[in-house]
């Protein structure tokens, strides 16, 4: 037979595009449209409905950047359409090639009831089926003219990302406002032809199935009368019925589709717009659930539910109803889909506490999956946190974005630093915006790495970020793919249904140990430094506030600020969203975040001050108390307590021969040269030099940094090819010299920027503190602080949540080479047997570690560099401009335990409070250095119980007693939600006024402690 395959395929494309699709709405009449533009920010619905309209016509421009316009469309259903299905078609000026990321609308009835969203791929509003002739149509649309930030030429700097700089040029032109007859038979024919055409394209040309489909398509096209598509569509569909009825192979891959819309809680739009984005998409989805009985929709992020509850109660009522029916699924159980690299231990835990609790309280739902499709890498600490929150599964898709190495599994057990294993799935469809295209379904089946032992994968299906979620077209396609020869099968299923099946068919999947490092977006550890510092500061202040407020509550009967802390935690958790904390949002988001973090700090300082005042007594009492919120003793002050401290001494500073200064405190001898660089740090206890021979530490290095894509997100490996060492100093002087502390001040200038550093040795402290203030006015540069250390090691430790993980210092394989920028929390530590060095930080997350072998002595120089600042220009054209302050310290002779302790001490500085009290006894004390208290708080259920979270921090085993300074009625191990839990594998036994703990490496235990009487 002659091969006419391409001829038929081309015919299908043209006839679909030019004849059949247009025939879905063959008849239409224009609607009348009026518009009112709100003068500033969005207005309440009633105000928008009531505002006077002026006429606007199709083709007219509307919508300044970030503006809100209220449109009213009105008309009459023609008499001739009686009995037909009638829809309004409203095209606000959409670019259908971009499913989201542009203007959007929410349709209201005249009484203010929301109907559904209007999105680029979802422009219809059902008026009536069947319609009555002469029926009046009146609808209102709240239209948001959000500008396109990520355009066809991506990553160009733009001023559109902040209302303050965006100008008022209209962004859109009204494209269509019609009343039309919806021909469902033609629409079904379109769905048939799309599914078969897309399937055909994925089948081998040699396969009989491909030709069966091709011939059926040809017969259907022969049957359609192009002058009467509506009249012949049913007959054409009959030609396709046979190939559509042919069932899938028994070995076909099985896809669990779940309706989804990945809505970033802020990104290329401000937080306030997400509130409306979520309402529009959710209105679409509750409507679709009513129309499509098989469809299931999953939405994550408790915060987004809370927004709908507060701002669109009518939509929320529909959500509650659909959740109760089990078809609208609260997914994931986190407050937001947060970053997981940077949030601290407690914050990562609270993401689950607040997310799960919201779902439990609002819906009575507790799910078992963590849902993080888009997060930029996953720490080794996360599995234990997921498990302690009562979950057992994880879904993410993001690791498929890795630039170099392809992850070997789609379904596997992920083992964290403590040994907790979580059943994890990466959807092989490689997207969280699946549209049920044949190419996607075929890719999922082909790409799935666990073929032969497993058959199931999941496909989150729907447009996110203002695309409106799942469309009725996706549902129609899924129904055709349910059991179709040549395709994977598709069923709408809840995430839990998928995980149960996947786990049952694959009881012993392969294991991946350690972090899930994303080989992309590495610069998100550094971009928008003020947002990151706001997060750090807030986490530390929350720890202090909970500790001192709980102490004041038990000691003095002070009221515990439950509501304030709950609200502040949720604010801080929201800002850990995976485009806010990573610094990848528009200028507006980061400008607001800085202000919000300022308000959070102010409120927490007030709570801390009030609690410490209650504990310290009358400020005229003549005593000074030092409060220590760190989990380790500081000078004579116990962890979590307060005491008077006598001034320590022993610091000295002298001029160094050849320039610079020599600093000493009896523990360290530090030499700073005439350039203000650290040439020697000797640890007196061991006599060991810390700085590698021939090198200088605390060296600031400046690199050009213009990645190929994703400016705020990415740093590409080639940035290291060019470097400028900032060695020239404007000033190197002694800034302070006393018995208690000595400080050398170093000032430098470079480019358009200046930097001021204070190098301080304090009495009794085995670390060199480095305070850095940069007035940063560079563009597309990367600033690092380098510490070349005389340490020979193949690996180093970096702190993560509830422990640390190791990474290699070499680049033997592509996996290691790809980790050229990584995350630390409070410390990086490296050692040789018996002697190590820690670098601790209260400010930064990004770092790199490299090794070199010296020509002279053959020794190894291991260089640790903290990443201080970048200056990308997209999406915020002025990222990181201005003044920044950082605090780091070098700790020679440090063990892992020292690194843990110094990291906490630098992050939680002492507070001096005047009062009458001699001391404040800690509520709890732990009798082992490795058992670290990460939180002391009152139980969220307001029972008055004390909640104490403890973890083994050194990576070993630790047995110790947690004793309380108040009578103890009982103590039980709990999960993160403070519910009694027997999942703790360590030993926890109440004995007398304490609890005996025996913990595995990095094991986390939450204790709920019931006080037995008056606190002493
Ligand atoms: Zn995202």
DSSP 128-155: ESSPPTT-EEEEEEEEEEPPPSS-SSTT
CA 734 to chain centre: 43
- Per-residue burial over 612-645, b = 16 or more CB atoms within 10 Å of its CB, e = otherwise: bbbbbbeeeeebebbbbbbbbbbeebbbbbbbeb
Band the pLDDT of 813: cuts 50, 70, 90. Answer: very high
207 has pLDDT over 80? yes
Mean pLDDT along residues 88-96: 97
Residue 438: phi, psi to the nearest 5? -55, -35
Residue 643: phi, psi to the nearest 5? -160, 160
What pLDDT digit, counting tens, does each position of 479-532 carry? 999 999 999 999 999 999 999 999 999 999 999 999 999 999 999 999 999 999
The pTM of the whole model exceeds 0.95: yes
Q: Are the CB atoms for 936 and 1008 separated by under 8 Å? A: no
What pLDDT digit, counting tens, does each position of 661-695 carry? 999 999 999 999 999 999 999 999 999 999 999 99
- For residue 273, how far is its CA from the centre of ligand 1 (angstroms)? 15
Residues in the 5 Å CB sphere of ion ligand 1: 264, 374
What pLDDT digit, counting tens, does each position of 150-159 carry? 999 999 999 9
- For residue 549, how far is its CA from the centre of ligand 1 (angstroms)? 36
Band the pLDDT of 1015: cuts 50, 70, 90. Answer: very low
- What residues are paired with 258 via a beta bridge? 460
What pLDDT digit, counting tens, does each position of 347-405 carry? 999 999 999 999 999 999 999 999 999 999 999 999 999 999 999 999 999 999 999 99
What pLDDT digit, counting tens, does each position of 556-588 carry? 999 999 999 999 999 999 999 999 999 999 999
What would the two tokens of residue 842 be?
């209260």
Identify the residue whose tokens are 């021939």. Answer: 694
160 has pLDDT over 80? yes
What distance in Å separates the CA atoms of residue 200 and residue 223, rounded to the nearest whole number? 20
Q: What is the DSSP letter of 15?
A: H
What distance in Å separates the CA atoms of residue 130 and residue 114, rounded to the nearest whole number? 22
What local confidence, expressed as pLDDT, does residue 621 receive?
A: 86
- For residue 322, how far is its CA from the centre of ligand 1 (angstroms)? 25
What pLDDT digit, counting tens, does each position of 689-720 carry? 999 999 999 999 999 999 999 999 999 999 99
Helical H segments across 436-507, by residue range: 438-447, 472-480, 495-505
What pLDDT digit, counting tens, does each position of 870-907 carry? 999 999 999 999 999 999 999 999 999 999 999 999 99
CA angle 651, 655, 656 (to 5 degrees): 110
- For residue 467, how far is its CA from the centre of ligand 1 (angstroms)? 13
3-state helix, strand, coil in the chain (%, to 5): 30, 30, 40
- For residue 471, how far is its CA from the centre of ligand 1 (angstroms)? 20
Band the pLDDT of 1016: cuts 50, 70, 90. Answer: very low
DSSP H or E run through 218? helix 208-223
Q: Would you please indicate which residues are annotated as catalytic (active-site) residues? A: 374
- For residue 178, how far is its CA from the centre of ligand 1 (angstroms)? 34
Length of the chain equals: 1016
- For residue 263, how far is its CA from the centre of ligand 1 (angstroms)? 7
Band the pLDDT of 205: cuts 50, 70, 90. Answer: very high
What pLDDT digit, counting tens, does each position of 411-441 carry? 999 999 999 999 999 999 999 999 999 999 9
What distance in Å separates the CA atoms of residue 431 and residue 463, rounded to the nearest whole number? 11
What would the two tokens of residue 664 be?
């000493």
CA distance to 697, 700, 744, 809, per residue, from 689 (Å): 12, 21, 20, 20
Mean pLDDT along residues 32-39: 98
Mean pLDDT along residues 941-970: 96
- What residues are paired with 369 via a beta bridge? 393
What local confidence, expressed as pLDDT, does residue 1013 receive?
A: 66
Q: Are the CB atoms for 921 and 914 separated by under 8 Å? A: no
Average pLDDT, the chain: 97
CA angle 241, 243, 246 (to 5 degrees): 105
Give the chain's largest Cα–Cα span: 104
- For residue 684, how far is its CA from the centre of ligand 1 (angstroms)? 50
What would the two tokens of residue 125 be?
């509003």
Q: Are the CB atoms for 370 and 391 separated by under 8 Å? A: yes
Window from 264-273, 436-445, 784-793, 981-990 with minimum mean pLDDT: 981-990
285 has pLDDT over 90? yes
CA distance to 98, 341, 647, 691, 798, per residue, from 741 (Å): 60, 35, 11, 22, 29
Identify the residue whose tokens are 């009249």. Answer: 231
What local confidence, expressed as pLDDT, does residue 1012 receive?
A: 87
What distance in Å separates the CA atoms of residue 893 and residue 276, rounded to the nearest whole number? 54
What pLDDT digit, counting tens, does each position of 968-983 carry? 999 999 999 999 998 7
Percent of the chain with pLDDT over 90: 97
What local confidence, expressed as pLDDT, does residue 1 receive?
A: 87
The DSSP-derived string for 95-117 is -TTSSSSS-EEEEE-TTS-EEEE
- For residue 335, how far is its CA from the centre of ligand 1 (angstroms)? 14
What local confidence, expressed as pLDDT, does residue 814 receive?
A: 98
Q: Are the CB atoms for 119 and 467 separated by under 8 Å? A: yes
HEC readout, 221-255: HHHCECCEHHHHHHHHHHHHHHHHHCCCCCCCCEE
What distance in Å separates the CA atoms of residue 216 and residue 485, rounded to the nearest whole number? 14
What distance in Å separates the CA atoms of residue 202 and residue 190, rounded to the nearest whole number? 19
Q: Residue 681's closest CA among 768, 786, 771?
A: 768
Strands 172-173 and 61-62: antiparallel
């Amino acid at each position: 037979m002659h091969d006419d395959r391409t001829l038929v395929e081309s015919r299908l494309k043209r006839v679909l595009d030019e004849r059949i699709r247009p025939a879905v709405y063959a008849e239409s009449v224009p609607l009348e449209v009026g518009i009112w533009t709100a003068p500033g920010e969005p207005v309440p619905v009633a105000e928008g409905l009531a505002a006077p309209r002026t006429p606007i016509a199709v083709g007219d421009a509307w919508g300044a950047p970030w503006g809100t316009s209220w449109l009213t469309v009105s008309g009459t259903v023609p008499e001739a359409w009686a009995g037909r299905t009638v829809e309004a078609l409203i095209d606000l000026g959409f670019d259908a090639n971009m499913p989201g990321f542009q203007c959007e609308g929410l349709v209201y009835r005249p009484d203010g009831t929301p109907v559904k969203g209007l999105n680029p791929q979802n422009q219809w509003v059902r008026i009536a089926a069947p319609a009555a002739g002469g029926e009046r149509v009146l609808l209102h649309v709240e239209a948001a003219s959000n500008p396109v930030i990520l355009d066809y030429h991506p990553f160009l700097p733009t001023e559109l990302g902040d209302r303050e700089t965006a100008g008022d040029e209209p962004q859109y032109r009204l494209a269509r406002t019609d009343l039309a007859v919806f021909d469902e038979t033609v629409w079904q024919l379109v769905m048939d032809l799309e599914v078969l055409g897309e399937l055909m394209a994925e089948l081998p040309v040699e396969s009989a199935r491909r030709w069966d489909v091709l011939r059926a398509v040809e017969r259907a096209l022969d049957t359609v009368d192009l002058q009467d598509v509506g009249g012949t569509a049913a007959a054409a569909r009959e030609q396709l019925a046979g190939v559509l009825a042919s069932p899938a192979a028994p070995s076909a891959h099985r896809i669990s589709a779940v309706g989804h819309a990945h809505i970033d809680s802020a990104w290329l739009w401000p937080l306030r717009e997400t509130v409306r984005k979520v309402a529009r998409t959710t209105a679409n989805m509750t409507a679709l659930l009513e129309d499509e009985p098989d469809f299931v929709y999953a939405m994550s992020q408790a915060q987004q539910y809370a927004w709908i509850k507060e701002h669109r109660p009518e939509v929320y009522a529909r959500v509650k109803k659909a959740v109760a029916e089990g078809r609208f699924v609260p997914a994931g159980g986190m407050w937001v889909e947060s970053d997981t690299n940077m949030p601290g231990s407690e914050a990562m835990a609270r993401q689950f506490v607040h997310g799960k609790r919201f779902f439990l309280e609002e819906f009575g739902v507790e799910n078992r999956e963590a849902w993080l499709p888009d997060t930029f890498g996953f720490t080794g600490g996360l599995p234990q946190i997921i498990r302690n929150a009562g979950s057992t599964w994880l879904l993410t898709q993001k690791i498929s974005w890795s630039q170099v190495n392809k992850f070997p599994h789609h379904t596997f057990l992920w083992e964290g630093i403590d040994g907790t294993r979580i059943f994890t799935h990466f959807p092989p469809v490689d997207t969280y915006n699946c549209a049920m295209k044949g190419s996607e379904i075929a890719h999922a089946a082909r790409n799935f790495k666990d073929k032969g032992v497993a058959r199931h994968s999941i496909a989150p299906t729907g447009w996110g970020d203002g695309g409106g979620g799942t469309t009725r077209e996706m549902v129609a396609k899924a129904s055709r793919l349910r059991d179709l020869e040549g395709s994977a099968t598709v069923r709408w299923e809840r995430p839990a249904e998928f995980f149960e099946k996947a786990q049952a068919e694959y009881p012993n999947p392969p294991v991946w140990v350690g972090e899930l490092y994303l080989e992309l977006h590495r610069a998100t550890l550094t971009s928008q430094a003020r947002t990151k510092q706001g997060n750090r500061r807030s986490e530390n202040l929350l720890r202090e506030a909970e500790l001192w407020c709980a102490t004041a509550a038990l000691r003095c009967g002070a009221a515990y600020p439950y509501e304030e802390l709950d609200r502040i935690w949720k604010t801080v958790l929201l800002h850990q969203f995976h485009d806010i904390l990573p610094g990848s949002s528009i200028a507006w988001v980061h400008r607001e975040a800085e202000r919000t973090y300022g308000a959070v700090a102010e409120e927490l300082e007030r709570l801390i001050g009030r609690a410490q005042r209650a504990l310290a007594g009358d400020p005229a009492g003549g005593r000074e108390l030092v409060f220590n919120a760190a989990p380790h003793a500081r000078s004579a002050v116990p962890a979590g307590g307060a005491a008077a401290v006598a001034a320590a001494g022993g610091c000295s500073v002298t001029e160094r021969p050849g320039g610079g200064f020599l600093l000493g405190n009896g523990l360290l001898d530090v030499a700073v040269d005439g350039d203000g660089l650290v040439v020697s740090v000797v640890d007196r206890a061991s006599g060991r030099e810390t700085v590698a021979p021939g090198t200088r530490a605390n060296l600031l290095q400046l690199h050009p940094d213009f990645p190929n894509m994703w400016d705020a997100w990415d740093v590409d490996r080639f940035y290291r090819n060019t470097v400028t060492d900032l060695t020239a100093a404007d000033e190197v002087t002694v800034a302070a010299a006393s018995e208690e502390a000595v400080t050398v001040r170093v000032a430098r200038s470079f480019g358009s920027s200046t930097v001021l550093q204070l190098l301080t040795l304090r009495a009794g402290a085995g670390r060199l503190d480095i305070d850095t203030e940069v007035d940063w006015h560079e563009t597309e540069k990367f600033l690092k602080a380098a510490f070349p250390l005389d340490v020979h090691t193949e690996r180093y430790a970096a702190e993560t949540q509830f422990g640390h993980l190791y990474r290699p210092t070499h680049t033997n394989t592509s996996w290691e080479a790809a980790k050229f920028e990584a995350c630390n929390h409070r410390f990086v530590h490296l050692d040789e047997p018996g002697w190590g060095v820690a670098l601790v930080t209260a400010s930064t997350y990004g770092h790199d570690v490299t090794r070199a072998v010296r020509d002279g002595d053959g020794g190894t120089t291991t260089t640790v560099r903290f990443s201080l600042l970048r200056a990308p220009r997209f999406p915020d054209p002025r990222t990181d401009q201005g003044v920044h302050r950082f605090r780091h310290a070098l700790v020679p002779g440090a063990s892992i335990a020292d690194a843990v302790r110094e990291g906490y001490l630098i992050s939680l500085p002492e507070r001096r409070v005047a009062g009458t009290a001699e001391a404040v006894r800690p509520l709890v004390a732990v009798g082992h250095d490795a058992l670290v208290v990460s939180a002391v708080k009152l139980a969220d259920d307001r029972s008055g119980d004390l909640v104490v979270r403890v973890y083994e921090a050194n990576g070993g085993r630790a047995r110790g007693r947690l004793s309380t300074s108040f009578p103890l009625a009982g103590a039980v191990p709990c999960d993160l939600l403070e519910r009694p839990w027997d999942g703790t594998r360590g030993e926890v036994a109440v004995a007398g006024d304490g609890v005996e703990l025996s913990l595995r490496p990095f094991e986390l235990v939450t204790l709920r402690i019931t006080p037995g009487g008056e606190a002493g």
